[in-house]
Amino acid sequence: MTKKFDLFVIGGGSGGVRAARVAASKGMKVGLAEGWSLGGTCVNRGCVPKKLYSYSSHFSEDIELMSSFGWSISKKNFSWNKLVQNKKKEIKRLSQIYNSLLSNSGVEIFTGFAEFLDSESIKIGKKIIQSKNFLIAVGTQPNRLNFGASKEIVTSDEAFDLKSLPKKILILGGGYIAVEFAAIFNGLGVNTSICIRREKILKGFDDDVVNQLTNQMKEKGIKIISNDFPQEISKKDNLFDVKYKRNKSEKFNLVMEATGRSPNIERLNLEKIKIKLSKNSSIIVNDYFETSCKNIYAIGDVINRVQLTPVAIAEAMILVNNLTKKKKEKFKYNNVPTAVFSNPNYAYVGLTETEAKKKFKKIEIFTSSFRPLRFSLSKKKEKVFIKLIVNSLNNKVIGLHYLGEHAAEIVQGFSVAIVNGLTKKAFDKTIGIHPTSAEEIVTMKK
């Protein structure tokens, strides 16, 4: 028997789940297919476990800092297995919540991977499903390079569930995933190295902040191998033998790839319905998330606009509203705040200095670097670095970059001001809360 729906969502990540729930609340008959676990990459193999592990990795420094405030701990012990097991319990709880949210909304859930038969029907296992509209929200998967030991090299998908912590790890790649995992492993006591083909980590982020973060990562013991990359990686006697292009070699207990992600589309059979793809295999959509097949839509990481969970959720809301309203709305991707959960944390909203110079005739830059009060009694050298970018023609703040503890929490609050066009003068009128690090944002002078 063929099942029929008004909207069928392929992918049970944050964007897909939100679209399904909202569509069902508007009276549509909705189905959703997920081949792995509900919650997608973010809940199961991304944002949530990464932040939990990031918290864990910071405690080693917190314990050291405690002594400067008069506290002492006689024995310091860490259990990787306990962290992994507690993480699994939390992920299972969140996945069950997603299941309940969908079921209570009236969404019919299918376990399995969907494959298009034509533009109006898919197959999940032996089940045939028809729908007026389809939404593809399958996200991305880690890229894998070709080395002799490739089968034993891990990605972010496997890194959260290692059987044991390695003593020494090499992380390939310099994007935010590589940087975040470097901070995690380093904080948990692992001898950690990052290897990148180019000069700097975090391509596309603000240069000043990247330089500050790089220096602080090195001070914490993370090695950054730049302008080089492995030619071959083999494994012998439980050790990875890494041979670099510059003819040097080094041995590691574990190698992790974090060299980007690719659209997770292999199982969909998109060539059958002639969905147009970009050069990087992401699905091409118009301003209303329509693919080249007018009844098939796509949102989230698979369309390669801004690959962030809150963006996918916002895209889902606009898409479903557009399906039910005559007047369609476009999603605005400017001023999306983002964070790198490195150590220290880095968050920003708005433009980098490079972007601002390209977009505006004249800009002003305000920076501040200082040792926060929390570290003043200790020997820690870590500093907060703040950068404000202002459009000189109208005094609007067009970029805020914050490197330091709780950066994401601080920038989230200030994002409201920047999204709504507040000026530097408005920032200056605001009284800071003293003593805090964030007060520096409203007291910055040239």
**Residue found by looking up tokens 């390695």 in the block:** 166
- CB 424 within 8 Å of CB 390: yes
> Could you give phi then psi for residue 237, rounded to 5 degrees?
55, 45
φ/ψ of 86, rounded to 5, equals -65, -35
Structure tokens at 140: 């991305």
Return left, alpha or beta for 80; rule: phi > 0 is left, psi -120 to 50 is alpha, else beta. alpha
In Å, how far from its chain's centre is CA 5? 32
Active site residues: 434
Burial string for 39-51 (b: 16+ CB within 10 Å, else e) reads: bbbbbbbbbbbbe
Let me know how many helices (H) and strands (E) the chain has, helices first: 11, 21
C-alpha to C-alpha distance for 278 and 269, rounded to whole angstroms: 16
Helix ranges (H only) for 360-405 are none
3-class DSSP state of 40 = helix
CB atoms near residue 81 (< 10 Å): 11
Beta bridge partners of 391: 363
Per the DSSP assignment, residues forming a β-bridge with 164 are none
Beta bridge partners of 141: 262
Whole-angstrom distance, CA of residue 360 vs CA of residue 356:
6
Cα 424 to chain center, whole Å? Answer: 29
- Are β-strands 239-244 and 249-252 bridged in parallel, bridged antiparallel, or unpaired? antiparallel
Task: Give the tokens for residue 215.
Answer: 């220096």
Residues with Cβ within 8 Å of residue 181, at least 6 apart in sequence: 50, 156, 159, 171, 256, 258
